[in-house]
Amino acid sequence: MPSSSAVVDHAASMSDIARDQVQHVRQHVGAAMTTTPAAAKDPAVCPTDDEALTPRRKTTRTWDYIWRSGLAGGFAGCAAKTMVAPLDRVKILFQASNPQFAKYSGSSFGVATAIKDIYHSEGGRGLYRGHSATLLRIFPYAGIKFLAYEQIRSLLIPDKHHETPLRRLLSGSLAGVTSVFFTYPLEVVRVRLAFETKRDGRSSLTSICRQIYREHPAAVEKTASGAAATTTTATSRQAGLVNFYRGFLPTLLGMLPYAGMSFLTHDTVSDLLRHPSIAERTTLPRTTSWPADKPAPLRSWAELSAGGIAGLISQTASYPLEVIRRRMQVGGAVGDGRRLKLGETARTIFRERGIRGFFVGLTIGYVKVIPMVAVSFYTYERMKLVLGI
């Protein structure tokens, strides 16, 4: 029969063996935990889809992510608008039926002729008339839009199972409405500055603001002979800050298809460009430091293509409401000064030019919006890489 000391030694050796086995198992499990989650998770199909992953969804709620995404969106908007500022001014002049430039709107080379006319009469700075107000508006507008999209998307699409085109469309639409609500007054000021074509005594930013604030809507009254007479009521309740929201309703209606289709199309095209069959030609190689749960960024041409297609589709879907909005915004600067409502403005445009009136300047709209949206998404995605989000 073995002695007690032998039993103790045998028990100790068994304990050591068990301890070694437990430690080996823990090391094996730890190694598996560090390698399998990234591989087990389905990577997001495009950079803006990162919120579909649980860790990224938590990250989007931090203040650090919020200010970085807002900053990236602001820079993206400024870069895009600066590139197309001359085209933007000509488009506004066409849409608002400026008397001096209406003759160019139906010409095949009307855009080039109008740009040449502006350059000769006002110089190079004339092509950027109102651009300072544009930058003041677009930085917060784009920043809020991209930031709101990231946050709203993380709520509507908490995981990959909720990834549907309808939720993407709704996320983009709500983001656009949020951004335009906070920045619309600056848009009205920008349109007024761009609409003005007089050479001498040009209005400054502050004078335009005062003019808009003091405008009183004209009311149409019937005279004794039954003719319509226009009168201005100095004590009108609609004078004041409400003037900075002229055309706000069609803006909201137009933003729903514009922003929604823009984000939906961009994300969908990005999905297609990241398909495994063509990913080698459309995505940049992954670096060793690149997170495994993030998709490889698209190459420059692919990212610009996704944004350009998004601009084409979103512009087509929302353009008629954009024309109505422009006419309402300049209502106090042309005609009898009477503020027209959405339905009245639409009927006026239809009476003047028919259905084609709702698509005046659409060609220049394509020329402007396609590169603008392409540069906007491209800059935003690249700024996210620079800022580490």
In angstroms, the CA 169 to CA 374 distance is: 18
The closest alpha carbon to 124, from 116, 114, 132, 134, belongs to 116
Q: Tell me what pLDDT residue 102 has.
A: 63
Could you report the per-residue pLDDT of 92-117, keeping only the tens digit for each? Answer: 777 666 666 666 666 656 777 788 88
In angstroms, the CA 311 to CA 307 distance is: 6
Cα dihedral 373, 188, 353, 225 in deg (nearest 10): 170
Q: Tell me what pLDDT residue 225 has.
A: 44
* Better pLDDT: 108 or 83: 83
Q: Tell me what pLDDT residue 326 has.
A: 78
* Better pLDDT: 224 or 311: 311
The backbone region for 204, taken as left when phi is positive above 0, alpha when psi lies in -120 to 50, beta otherwise, is beta
The closest alpha carbon to 325, from 239, 258, 238, belongs to 258
Number of residues assigned to the chain: 389
Q: Please give the distance of CA 130 from its chain centroid, rounded to a whole number.
A: 20
Could you report the per-residue pLDDT of 274-314, keeping only the tens digit for each? Answer: 999 999 999 988 877 777 777 888 999 999 999 999 999 99
Q: Which residues, 6+ apart, have CB-to-CB distance to 59 below 8 Å? A: 65, 389
Structure tokens given for 361: 């300047």
Rg (CA), the chain: 29
Q: Please give the distance of CA 155 from its chain centroid, rounded to a whole number.
A: 19
In contact, 72 and 150? CB cutoff 8 Å? no
Structure tokens given for 1: 């029969």
Q: How many CA atoms lie within 13 A of 389 on its CB side?
A: 27
What angle (nearest 5°) sits at the alpha carbon of residue 141, between those of residues 191 and 155? 145
In angstroms, the CA 68 to CA 74 distance is: 10
In contact, 327 and 345? CB cutoff 8 Å? yes
User: Domain limits of the chain?
Assistant: 247-358
In angstroms, the CA 357 to CA 320 distance is: 9
In contact, 285 and 321? CB cutoff 8 Å? no
* Interhelix angle 131-156/165-195, nearest 10 degrees: 170
Q: Does residue 267 carry a pLDDT above 90?
A: yes
Backbone angles phi, psi at 232, to 5 degrees: -115, 125
Q: Tell me what pLDDT residue 99 has.
A: 61
Q: Does residue 184 carry a pLDDT above 70?
A: yes
